[in-house]
A and B are shown apart, each in its own frame.
Chain A
Amino acid sequence: MLNKNEEKNLHNNQPEIVQKNQSSLYFFPFLTTFIIMFGVWMLLSGKFDPFHLSLGVISCAIVAFLSSDLLFPSPKLKGKLTVFIRWLCYLPWLTIELFKANFHVAYLVFHPRMMDLIDPRIIKFKSTLDSELGLVTFANSITLTPGTITVNVSIDGDFKVHAIDKASGDPLPGEMEIKIAKVFRKV
Chain B
Amino acid sequence: MDILVCILLFSGLFFLTAGSIGILRFPDFYSRLHPAGKLDTLGTLLALMGLALFSLHHFSLGALLTSLKIMLIIIFVFVASPTATHAIVDAGVRAGLAPWTKGEKRR
Complex Cα gap A40–B38 (Å): 27
Indicate if the CB atoms of B31 and A106 lie closer than 8 Å.
no
Which residues A140-181 have CB closer than 8 A to chain B?
Answer: 140, 143-144, 147, 149-152, 162, 164
Q: Which residues of A contact B33 (CB under 8 A)?
A: 149, 162
Which of B15, B26, B93, B100 has the largest number of chain A CB atoms within 10 A? B26
Complex Cα gap A105–B41 (Å): 13
Q: Which residues of B contact A98 (CB under 8 A)?
A: 38, 42
Q: How many A-B residue pairs have CB under 8 A?
A: 94
Which residues A113-160 have CB closer than 8 A to chain B?
Answer: 114-115, 118-122, 139-140, 143-144, 147, 149-152
Given contacts A105-B22, A120-B31, A140-B82, contact A43 B69 (CB under 8 A): yes
**Whole-angstrom distance from the CB of A127 to the nearest CB of chain B?**
16
| Chain B positions near chain A (C-beta within 8 angstroms) | 14-15, 18-19, 21-22, 25-28, 30-31, 33-35, 37-39, 41-42, 62, 65, 68-69, 72, 79, 82-83, 85-86, 89-90, 93, 99-102, 106
Complex Cα gap A84–B36 (Å): 29
Indicate if the CB atoms of A120 and B39 lie closer than 8 Å.
no
